[in-house]
Structure 1
Amino acid sequence: MANVAIVILAGTESHADTGRLVNGLEAAKEFEENDGDEVEVIFDGAGTEWIPELENEDGDYHELYQAVSDDAAVCDFCAGAFGVGDAVDDAGVVRLDDHDGHPSIRSLVDDDYEIITF
């Protein structure tokens, strides 16, 4: 049994960023498929920019995102800072603002979550 938080920090600007997103979502899906594992997927920083694209049913990675979207959340502060707040709200993705408007990584560590960043 594993407790894992996958933090997507990669933005949408490059092929390398897309690779990091896909690898992060695939890792989350693998944990999701393993009974007993707990996974959180957090879009933080420039990673918040992926939400509108991932919510688009015609997008390349929509299906992969849907496999883990029940476990997804977004940094509240960064959603606003990166201009995707309305898209996050429209999608109904949970906003995290536990520490100065950002997700609390410390609380995840305190809850014995392994933090993996992409």
Structure 2
Amino acid sequence: MTKVAVIILAGTESHADTGRLVNGLETAKEFAETAGDEVELIFDGAGTQWIPELEDEDSDYHDLYQAVRDDTAVCEFCAGAFGVEDAVSDSGVVTLDDHDGHPSIRSLVADDYEVITF
């Protein structure tokens, strides 16, 4: 059994950012599809900007996102800082504020999660 936290930090501004998003989603999906594995997908920092786009059914990456949506969470502080707080709230995706408004990476490490960032 493998436990992994995939953290999307890439924003929405460049082709390279999109590549990092897709690679992160594919990685999370691979773990989600593997029996016995546990995956947490966290959108943090500029990565929170992806939520409104990924929730849009017309997005090129909507279906890929839907494959891992149940394992998804968003940094509460960063959603506000990057102007997507309302979209995140409307989406119903869980927000994390464990450490000063942000997800606790330390808790993930303490719980034996491998942390992978994109």
TM-score, shorter chain, exceeding 0.5:
yes
- Measured in 1, the distance between the counterparts of 2:102 and 2:10 equals 16
Structure 2 regions of 5+ residues with no counterpart? Answer: none
CA drift at 1:14:
0.1
Q: Hey, which bits of structure 1, 4+ residues long, moved more than 3 A?
A: none
- Measured in 2, the distance between the counterparts of 1:31 and 1:95 equals 21
Identity, in percent, stands at 81
- Measured in 2, the distance between the counterparts of 1:52 and 1:69 equals 13
Output the TM-score relative to the length of structure 2: 1.00
Structure 1 regions of 5+ residues with no counterpart? Answer: none
- 1:47-66 to 2 correspondence within 5 Å? 47-66=47-66
1:12 is aligned to 2:9? no
- 1:1-118 to 2 correspondence within 5 Å? 1-118=1-118
| Paired letter, 1:11 | G
CA drift at 1:113:
0.1
Deviations 1:34-66 (A, max 9, x none): 000000000000000000000000000000000
- Measured in 2, the distance between the counterparts of 1:15 and 1:21 equals 10
State the superposition RMSD in angstroms: 0.2
- Measured in 2, the distance between the counterparts of 1:79 and 1:94 equals 11
Output the TM-score relative to the length of structure 1: 1.00
- Measured in 1, the distance between the counterparts of 2:24 and 2:16 equals 12
CA drift at 1:3:
0.2
Question: SS of 1:74's equivalent?
Answer: strand
Question: SS of 1:116's equivalent?
Answer: strand
- Measured in 2, the distance between the counterparts of 1:34 and 1:75 equals 26
- Measured in 1, the distance between the counterparts of 2:90 and 2:42 equals 17
- Measured in 2, the distance between the counterparts of 1:33 and 1:8 equals 19
